[in-house]
Amino acid sequence: MTETTHHTVRKALAALCLAACACAAVPAHAQSLQVLHWWTSDSERKAVDLIARRLGEQQVGWRDSMVPSGSGVGAGIVLRSRMLAKDAPEVAQLNAIVVRDWARLNLLLELDTVAAAGHWNKLLLPTVASTIEYDGHVYAAPLGIHRINTLFYNRKLLQRLGLPVPATWKEFERVAAKLQRAGIVPLAQSSEPWQVATLFETMVLAEGADLYRGLFVRRDAAAYADRRLAAALLRLRGVKRWMGRPIQERMWPDSLQELAGQRAAMMVMGDWAKGELLSKGQAVDVDFGCAAAPDTGRYHLYNVDTLSMVGTRPEARPAQEKLAALALSPAVQADYNRIKGSIPVLRQPAFAKMDACARASWKLFNSGAEAQVPSLVHRMSTDETVRDAIVTEVHRFFLDDSIPVADTQRRLGTIARTFIKTK
């Protein structure tokens, strides 16, 4: 077990203790649901509070069980531990592959009745609908879609220095050099494992969606020997020179504060970062802008936030079904996603409530399957065990410049071949 894994487990076990003392987000009601999630930033808390209030209006309480992991790794450990201790929450934040894994164990509540009553088959974007189904049944309520390959930039800073928003990595290098000469950190990024891996997957996508899908969806052995994977690894290591010194392991809102405060110019992060900037009083197209990560403008690297209902307490089912139905209501979809930074999962969202970044994201996602690329890091493309192993290997390569690129390619290929794919 790596030191990073030890650290994650320690945080998760601490979170398990906190979960046992979960506080109520709304006043007590006749029914209440404990919700396990990892939404911890200011904007995420506001989005959670919105749902809790709307749920309270239906006489169902929301009891928080928040795991401070930032990426869901700790939340998975906490959920498994609580299942084994027969102390499971009624609701858990799960993403696509993980929904399937828990459903296969018959531990999630089927939501077929709610989906049929709400006509989810007509409401939902088709790709979203496929992420919440397993073996012909619905097992999660989708909340929003995030675009992972987003480049956030301080608009005023770039304008003041007369610099363009880079659309390619070559342009990024030129802009970054000028920013560094001006005493500005070009790229606000953390060395936290999932954040490094998120940056890396956008760099792989920049080498081609066919390569990305071969590596992280199909897990083709030949893809791991591809020279384009070597190029992405080298770029990941090379981009360190544009980050602040020393490169710190910190939570993503802390890095984002560097951008908001004009101490850094750019950041590659999922569009939950937009929600956080908005919560700090920043305005889209005034204080900051959002563009595609370099060389990925044609693609929407996505994850879908969902809530699954844990099926261990039959008496909780009425309240769980109320929450599932609420998640797909047009008002919640519009207001939640505006706060969270994501886009609605609906075929016909309230465009008037979406800013320019959100409208561009929704339009690209809705353009077809070729544009849609499921995120590895955020649990949309492959098994959890493979995902965790790849994140660890990429993080190790990022930190240690002495590791040969070819060695990392071989190790990643071994990971892909070792674990059996499940459907």
Please write the tens of the pLDDT for every residue from 84-96: 898 999 999 998 8
What is the mean predicted confidence (pLDDT) over 1-21?
43
Domains 3-147+304-365 and 150-301 fall in the same CATH topology: yes
Mean pLDDT of the chain: 91
Q: Looking up tokens 């929704």, which residue turns up?
A: 362
Strand positions, DSSP E, 255-411:
264-268, 288-292, 300-309, 372-374
CB atoms within 10 A of CB 140: 31
Q: Which of 311, 293, 254 is nearest to 108 (CA)?
A: 311
pTM score? 0.91
**pLDDT for residue 205:** 98
Q: What does the pLDDT look like over 354-385, one tens digit per residue? A: 999 999 999 999 999 999 999 999 999 998 88
Q: Is the pLDDT of residue 19 over 60?
A: no
**pLDDT for residue 245:** 86
Q: Where are the domains of the chain?
A: 3-147+304-365, 150-301
CATH of 3-147+304-365, one of 3.30.56.10, 3.40.630.30, 3.40.190.10, 3.40.640.10: 3.40.190.10
Q: Which of 242, 254, 190 is nearest to 399 (CA)?
A: 190
What is the mean predicted confidence (pLDDT) over 76-91?
88
Q: Please tell me the distance from the alpha carbon of residue 97 to that of residue 88, in angstroms, as a whole number.
A: 20
**pLDDT for residue 239:** 97
What is the mean predicted confidence (pLDDT) over 149-153?
98
What is the mean predicted confidence (pLDDT) over 58-71?
84
What is the mean predicted confidence (pLDDT) over 162-173?
98
Distance between start and end Cα atoms, the chain: 27
**pLDDT for residue 13:** 43
**pLDDT for residue 4:** 44
**pLDDT for residue 7:** 46
Question: What is the residue type of 160?
Answer: R
Number of helices and strands in the chain (H, E) = 19, 12
Strand positions, DSSP E, 70-116:
91-94
Which positions ≥6 away from 311 have C-beta within 8 Å?
106, 107, 108, 109, 110
324: its two tokens = 């599932």
**pLDDT for residue 418:** 86
Res. 10 pLDDT band, cuts 50 70 90: very low
SS3 302: strand
| 291 or 422, which is more confident | 291
DSSP string covering 395-406: HHHHH-TTS-HH
The third-level CATH classification (topology) of the domain covering 150-301 is: D-Maltodextrin-Binding Protein; domain 2 (3.40.190)
